[in-house]
């Protein structure tokens, strides 16, 4: 959900400004943030609240964690396979 440099509290305040009726363009200009970033935050907020289909923030985090773990396991498996090949060559 957006650039990692923006804290969650800041994103929440931006979304609150939008909820208060400010336009994306004015918030974008006032806070010097890309309007596309604000649209992304708003879309993700709607997904998190169940108003729009898609992966929630929690689901995205879980998916990223699972992908990282899969990559680690694949690397371990490749190392094990290579070690087995080397041991077979030695015997």
pLDDT digits over 18-45, tens only? 999 999 999 999 999 999 999 999 999 9
Query: How far is Cα 84 from Cα 71, in angstroms, rounded to an integer?
Result: 20
Same domain, 31 and 62: no
Instruction: Indicate the burial class of 53 (C-beta count within 10 angstroms; 0-12, 13-18, 19 or more).
Output: exposed
Instruction: Indicate the burial class of 18 (C-beta count within 10 angstroms; 0-12, 13-18, 19 or more).
Output: middle
Same domain, 44 and 79: no
Q: What is the pTM of this model?
A: 0.72
- The domain of 78 spans 57-91
- The CATH code of the domain that includes 19 is 1.10.10
Domain count, the chain: 2
Q: What is the share, in percent, of the chain residues with pLDDT greater than 70? A: 96
């Amino acid at each position: 959900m957006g650039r990692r440099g923006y804290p969650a509290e800041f994103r929440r305040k931006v979304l609150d400004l939008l909820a208060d009726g400010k336009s994306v363009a004015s918030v974008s200009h006032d806070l010097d943030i890309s309007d596309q970033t604000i649209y992304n935050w708003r879309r993700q907020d709607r997904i998190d609240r169940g108003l729009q289909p898609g992966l929630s923030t929690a689901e995205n985090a879980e998916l990223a964690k699972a992908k990282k773990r899969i990559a680690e396991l694949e690397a371990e498996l490749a190392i094990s396979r290579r070690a087995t090949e080397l041991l077979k060559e030695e015997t």
